[in-house]
Amino acid sequence: MMPIRPMSQIVAVPCKAVLLMFALYSGAAGTEPSAVQTTGDNPLPPRLPLNELRIFVQAFDQVSDAYVEEIDDRALLENAIRGMLSQLDPHSAYLDKASFSRLQEKTTGKYGGLGLEVDINDSFVRVISPMDETPAERAGILPGDLIIKLDDKPVKGQSLAESISAMRGEPGTEIIVTILRDGESQPLDFNITREVISVASVRNRLLDTGYGYIRIAQFYTETGPEVGKAIDSMREEGPLLGLVLDLRNNPGGVLQSAVAVADLFVEDGLLVYTSGRLDNARQEFRATGNDVTGNLPIVVLVNEGSASASEIVAGALQDHDRAVIMGNRTFGKGSVQTILPLNEKKAIKLTTALYYTPSGRSIQAEGITPDIRVDRSQVTRLDRNRRRMRESDLHNHLNQSDEADSGKTSVEDQAITDFQLNEALTLLRGYNILADSGGSK
């Protein structure tokens, strides 16, 4: 067993860690470590607790001297910072040069990998959502899946950055992703080929004459203007009667982009506000009086993979009674992270505020509850009862005139391919039927 040195010896050791910790403790004012700082007549407690600093220095010194392999003191200090931040919440993190580069890739939307938005849950990597049209989505990875192995190597014990680094790589290379999924008794293996991930932020199409569909995969810098262009392009094909805004499996992104999207549909008032300890963490974002749709009926689709910026948009439109929120309860990430530089190459990503919907609701760990719950479902057609006869089956039945409408429609059968989207379209049609007949809106 290694002998434990007396504390007096530890404090006397002239190591860099001791000097650093006491420099941090005494601060710029140069006060003694045990001194009580004062501001006017009000005494302030010491900035850092001396006993805990001594314990840290002792642990640092023991690891530096006794670990089985020699380890650089700078690496130990960086690991201490990582550990400090990782214990705060799942989103605060230390960013070395490689981590900061990955963050920039995420903002631009281009990198080599699988196309997964993930976080840490009970030492495993949890899938928030697969991104649209990526290898992970095509392979069948679902929100809520727990990644337990990557290429047969357990992820437990790895940092989130290490797991993300393992999933990324050269396009064309393969990786085996092993996941645990609710409802499955055994782990599932997915052999996935990496690709260049370049996620399109906004896609749009007409579901039916007059009914538009906008899918936002993730919120990037230009997402707001892109949504505006999508609405204009659909209007070129004719007047719009309703709009479906699809935010399912959207992991979030840039806060200002979420505000810009919500601003497109709200005439005036508060859209979202943030609150934290720092003065600059308290911000309000308001509509600029520019509802580009002219109060068009809107249904917003959400699910458990809708997070962060997606929840800002859904919460703003819900609080302003501007849209019907449909689907499943959202992920519940209601915190704001700020990048705080440490030097030219390193920084920390720190949770500095919580955001709130216009009515004052915090989404953190609660999410947005939809106005109408519609679960993801598989719809199966029932065979028509062949014994029932129709007019067309009768002998000598009259045929319709040539001018009559055949009644055929080119609309995709949404009930089979996407039940939630079909329900959204049905709701919009019903709204307009009631409006045309003079019913309540």
Rounded distance between C-alpha atoms, residue 112 and residue 309, angstroms: 24
- Catalytic position from the list 132, 149, 257, 333: 333
- The sign one gets for the Cα dihedral 232, 234, 239, 245 is negative
CA-based torsion, 240, 241, 246, 252: positive or negative:
positive
CA angle 262–264–267, rounded 5-degree value: 90
Q: How far apart are CA 60 and CA 83, in angstroms?
A: 13
In this structure, the strands spanning 270-275 and 324-327 are: unpaired
State the Cα–Cα distance between residues 105 and 347, nearest whole angstrom: 16
Which residues does 249 contact at the CB level (< 8 Å), separation at least 6? 129, 130, 131, 132, 143, 303, 305, 306
b/e 426-435 (16+ beta carbons within 10 angstroms → b): ebbbebeeee
φ and ψ of 19, to 5 deg: -60, -40
Count of beta carbons in the 10 Å neighbourhood of residue 74? 9
Angstrom distance (rounded) from CA 412 to CA 422: 10
Cα(163)–Cα(113) distance, rounded to whole angstroms?
Answer: 12
The token duo for 265 is: 């549909």
Taking the CA of residue 390 as centre, how many other CA atoms within 13 Å lie in the half-sphere pointing to its CB? 6
Instruction: Let me know if 408 is a catalytic residue.
Output: no
Catalytic site includes residue 308? yes
Residue 326 CA, chain-centre distance (Å), reads 18
Identify the active-site residue in 163, 308, 310, 335. 308
Burial category of 289 from C-beta neighbours within 10 Å (exposed 0-12, middle 13-18, buried 19 and up): exposed
With CA atoms as reference, report the closest residue to 257 among 302, 223, 230.
223
H helix or E strand, kind and range, residue 235? helix 223-235
Terminal Cα distance for the chain, rounded: 78
Across the strands, what pairs with 111?
Answer: 197
Most distant CA pair in the chain: distance in Å? 110
Helix residue ranges, H only, 69-134: 73-86, 97-108
Cite the active site residues: 308, 319, 333
